[in-house]
Structure 1
Amino acid sequence: MHPMVKPALRRGWRDLNTVQFGMAPAHAMVLGPMDTATGSLLTLFDGTRGLPLLRDEGRRMGLPDGHVDGLVERLAQAGLLDDATGGGPAADALRKKPAVLDRLRPDVASLSLVAPEPGDAMRRLAARRSLRVQVRGAGRVGVVLAAALAGAGVGQVDVHDGGCVEPWDVAPGGLPVESIGERRDEAARRAVRRAAPNRPPRRGSARQAPEAEDPGLSLVIITPRDGLAVHAPDPSAAEPLIDSGTPHLYAGVVEGTGVVGPLVLPGDTACAGCLDLGRTDRDPTWPRLLAQWRSAQSRHVPACDLALSTAVAGLAAGHALAFLDGELPSSAGARWEVSVPGFDWHSTPVWDHPACRCGAAEKAKGEQTSDDEGPHETMAGQQPHAARLSGTWRAHV
């Protein structure tokens, strides 16, 4: 082990005996009491020394035997310690690619803030390289999102879409102006390869239909260029994903509103069918409106504010990465929405519906009746799944 105080957190002395690690409240921590000699020893916890050498340094500084090991244990318990050589074989393989790792150093530093165990940040980052994500939609949201995932170290990010690139598909970080007129999926895949720290080999021209579900997919992200398809996703289009147990996330822009979510974990969290049935319960005219919107053929370029689409792509990428890293983002069982011009994000729960074939409501009912200390009931007995998942999907991914 080569102990290292997590470099993402800046240090400052609050007084002669108390050290603050980190500036922002979300991850900052105060540690004390700490004497001056121990504070000097901390500067040597930079990942370049193993424990034997640190013990020698401690003795040279006049610190008692066992002091270094006690400090290591104290830092580890506080979640402030990393291991510059930890993370397992996959992390070791990544360290042998210095050019790739240099591109990803900001990401591993950020992961260290949420990965408490020493070496866990590198383990999570290395694990991303084995994951496969499919993005369905190559517009202003989809390609920027796909490029962000590839740039963050996800090993295989594929983009599916039809047609050719239009001038209004172009976006910074997404499709370049040079791609206008080319096939959308091919242009999007080139953008993904350019963003990847180690560019994956170019795939062949054979195209897999999105409906042919691949059990090896870690996540599917649905980013339709048609705003209606994200505002009111078609439940039948997601049936293959539900049947194959493939996690999927919705993200896009409708008119002047950006949408991220729900993240659907089939059989556990509410799906597009639950969303549609719930809307019909609350508003009997919803099916009539939806039929009109779907049957109308608009000849106008859909509204998609560039700053809004970029914000949606960024938030969706963050939620996707959190899920891929083994966490449960707040889009599980909820939709995040933001509208121009205020850009004020807010979330709305998506409740599992007892009439939906996805089975989430039935499972929730079973969990409720089998747990005397179950969560407080709302909405006539339904629960937002984000509050009750046990970690099954983290193991799945």
Structure 2
Amino acid sequence: MHPVVKPALRRGWRDLNTVQFGMTPAHALTLGPVDTATGSFLELLNGTRGMRLLREEARRMGLPDGHADRLVQGLARSGLLDDARGGGASADTLRERKAVLDRLRPDLASLSVLTQEPGDAMRLLAARRSLRVQVRGAGRVGAVLAALLSGAGVGEVDVLDGGQVEPWDIAPGGLPADLVGERRTEAAHRVVRRAAPDRPPRRTPGGEPEPGWSLVVLAPRDDVAVHAPPPAAAEPYLTSGTPHLYAGVVEATGIVGPLVLPGETGCAGCLDRTRADRDATWPRLVAQWRSARPRHVRPCDLALATTVAGLAAAHALAFLDGRQPSSAGARWECSLPGLQWHARAVWPHPECPCGAAEKGSGEQASGDGAAHETMGEQRSSTEERHRARAARPAGTWRAHV
């Protein structure tokens, strides 16, 4: 192990013998009391030395035996320490590709803030290279979203859509103006390749069969499909157990979610049935919307679409990195001009064949008010877990919130 105090967390002295790591309440911790020698020793935790050399340096600085090990262990328990050479074989391979790693260093720094064990950030970043994501939809939301996932290091990002690129598909970070008239799918693939920090691995014809998709993102250009996702479109993913995330813009409202974990969280079918239970006219309205003459150009504000693409990409990456984002079983919505995000829970419906209701995940609330309350409780629970993690180390380690 080559310990390094996570450089992503800014360090500052609260007083003469108390150090604060990090600026924001969600991640900041304090260490104290810290004497002058220990403060100087912290500067040596920069990833260039192994524990043997660090122990020698500690003795030369007059620190007692075992002090270096106790300090390193305390920092590691608090999630403040990384391993400059950790992460496993895949991480070592990524380190050898310096140009690729340099592109991804901001993402690595962000992961280091979120991970607990030394070396985990590099392990997760390297693991992204083996993941496969499909984005269905190459409009202002889908194309930008696909480029973001590719640029964040996801190894394979496939995009599917029909038709040709139209002038109103163009968006900064997505489809460029010089691709107008090309097939949408091919144009989106070019955008994804340009965004990638590394060339995707070549697929050998006749080789091992490819694994399934790690995640499918449904980002339709059709605003009706955004507002009322057709359950039939997700049946293949429910059958195969493929996680899928919805994202898009309808009129002047951006939507991210739900992230559907088949058999565990509410799906498009659950959403449709719940809406019909609350409003008997819902099926009639949806039938009219779907059968109406399609609009030539649908409302899709550029800034709102980019916001949705960014948030959806963040939720997708959180899931791909092994976490469960707040879109699991919920739709986040944001409308112009207020731009205030709020969550609407998507409860498993007992009559939906997806089977999520059979998991018995607790009592289900009804109505948007209950959904808002439940999502607020989830956010509070998340904050409490952050505080619990920060406060876990004993002795001189204190959480600063």
- Contact 1:269–1:333 (8 Å) recurs in 2: yes
Aligned residue in 2 for 1:268: 264
For residues 283-311 of structure 1, what are the alpha-carbon distances to aligned partners after superposition, in whole Å with 9 as ceiling and x for unaligned? Answer: 00001110110000133310110100000
Letter in 1 for 2:237: L
Q: Residue 16 of structure 1 corresponds to which residue in structure 2?
A: 16
For the residue of structure 2 that corresponds to 1:140, the secondary structure is coil
Q: Do residues 303 (structure 1) and 290 (structure 2) align?
A: no
Q: Tell me, yes or no, if structure 1 residue 29 matches structure 2 residue 16.
A: no
Q: Could you tell me how far apart the structure 2 residues matched to 1:222 and 1:49 are?
A: 47
Measure, in 1, the Cα distance between the counterparts of 2:221 and 2:363. 38
| Corresponding position of 2:170 | 170
Q: CA separation in 2, counterparts of 1:304 and 1:269?
A: 28
Measure the CA separation in 1 of the matches of 2:159 and 2:338: 31
Distance apart, 1:200 and its partner CA: 2.1
**Deviates most, 318-327 or 51-60:** 51-60
2:347–2:364: 8 Å Cα contact kept in structure 1?
Answer: no
**Cα separation, 1, equivalents of 2:237 and 2:226:** 16
8 Å CA contact 2:265, 2:356 repeated in 1? yes
Tell me the distance in 2 between the aligned counterparts of 1:191 and 1:377. Answer: 42
Whether the 8 Å contact between 1:147 and 1:173 is mirrored in structure 2 is: yes
Number of aligned positions between the proteins:
368
The one-letter code matched in structure 2 to 1:329 is: P
Q: Which residue of 1 aligns with 2:311?
A: 315
Q: Is the 8 A contact 1:215 1:244 kept in 2?
A: no
1:378 aligns with 2:379: no
- What is the match of residue 397 of structure 2? none
Shift of 1:376: 5.7
Q: Which residue does the alignment assign to 1:57? A: 57
Cα distance change of structure 1 residues 203 and 182 upon mapping to structure 2, 3 Å threshold: farther
Contact (CA 8 Å) 2:276, 2:282: kept in 1 or not? yes
TM superposition shift of 1:203:
8.1
Note if contact 2:144-2:306 (Cα within 8 Å) is conserved in structure 1. Answer: yes
Q: CA deviation at 1:202?
A: 7.9
Which runs of at least 4 in structure 1 moved beyond 3 Å after TM superposition?
201-204, 375-380, 382-387
Partner of 2:395: none
Q: In the alignment, which of 233, 251, 259 is matched to residue 255 of structure 2?
A: 259
Residue 226 of structure 1 corresponds to 222
Structure 1 unaligned segments of length 5 or more: list them.
205-213, 369-374, 388-397
Kindly state the Cα deviation for residue 215 of structure 1 after the two structures are TM-superposed.
5.4
2:321 corresponds in structure 1 to 325
Could you say if the C-alpha distance between residues 98 and 10 of structure 1 is closer, same or farther in structure 2, counting changes exceeding 3 Å? same
What's the % identity of the aligned pairs?
72
Residues 284-295 of structure 1 aligned to structure 2 (within 5 Å)? 284-295=280-291
1:23 is aligned with what amino acid?
Answer: M
CA distance in 1, matches of 2:12, 2:298: 50
Q: How big is the shift at 1:36? A: 1.4
Task: Give the corresponding residue for 1:148.
Answer: 148
Partner of 1:340: 336
Per-residue deviation, 1:113: 1.2
Aligned to 1:198: 198
* TM-score in terms of structure 1 length: 0.89
In structure 2, the gaps of 5 or more residues are: 205-209, 379-401
Kept after mapping to 2: 8 A contact 1:274/1:350: yes
Q: Structure 1 residue 377: deviation in Å?
A: 5.5
The residue type equivalent to 2:230 in the other structure is D
State the TM-score, normalized to the length of structure 2: 0.89
TM-superposed CA distance for 1:199, in Å, is 2.3
CA distance in 1, matches of 2:238, 2:72: 46
Q: Give the SS at the match of 1:46.
A: coil
3-state SS in 1 of match to 2:248 = strand
1:100 equivalent to 2:100? Answer yes
CA distance in 1, matches of 2:295, 2:363: 48
Whether 1:278 aligns to 2:266 is: no
Please name the residue that 1:42 is paired with: 42
**Can you list the C-alpha shifts for 1:181-219, whole angstroms capped at 9, x where unaligned?**
000000000100000000226889xxxxxxxxx851100
Between 239-248 and 292-301, the greater mean CA deviation after superposition: 292-301
